[in-house]
Amino acid sequence: MQPTNRRFDLRERTRNAHDTVDRLVGVWKTRADYVDYLRSIHLFRSRYEAALDAIVLPACFRDWSTGQAVPEATRDLADLGVRRLPPVDKAVIDTDISSLLGTLYVLEGSGLGARLLCQRALALGLTADSGARHLFLLAGRVDAWRAFGAILENAPIYDAGRAVRAAERAFGDAAEAFGGAFADA
């Protein structure tokens, strides 16, 4: 029997939730489409980055650090003329190791998708210096993704069900952010 790979198991078990977010992110044809995306990603990441900032990560995370995309997304929004955003509440996250792994799987995994999104942003005339800083920051976190993967595979305590539930909650919050949170903005 082959050993299980937690990352691939988590990916398979959350595929539908992930696919929903990918569909909602969509394809940007205009800068206005991109601004809608940017407002949504700012909302989602603001909630989760604030929640993570409020806790002390367990020792097994000592070789990894969170990617703080919100400051760069805020600068990107300012580049595109969006100066004020509504305040947001912190996300509700469970802080046991398995749940944190599920939540961080979603946040760190967004860096993989950011690589593709960088190309889309460049096509709209946005760059790592103006309008798309957060994307290039996330896309450049390859080493952090690898470090996170090692933590996921080697965590001393792991409950796959808790990890899946936490990842699905994060994907659900992302879907909510991308599903029209700024339709009237």
Rounded Cα distance between 167 and 91, Å, is 13
State the residue for tokens 């005339």: 125
Is 70 exceeded by the pLDDT of residue 166? yes
**Residue-wise pLDDT tens digits, 122-159:** 999 999 999 999 999 999 999 999 999 999 999 999 99
Give the sign of the dihedral formed by CA 55, CA 57, CA 62, CA 66.
negative
Our CA angle for 160, 55, 102, nearest 5°, is 20
Mind listing the domains of the chain with CATH numbers? 6-178 (1.20.910.10)
Q: What pLDDT does 58 receive? A: 94
Q: What pLDDT does 4 receive? A: 60
Q: Burial level of 73, CB count in 10 A (0-12/13-18/19+)?
A: buried
Spatial CA neighbour of 117 closest among 24, 26, 56: 26
**Residue-wise pLDDT tens digits, 38-79:** 999 999 999 999 999 999 999 999 888 888 999 999 999 999
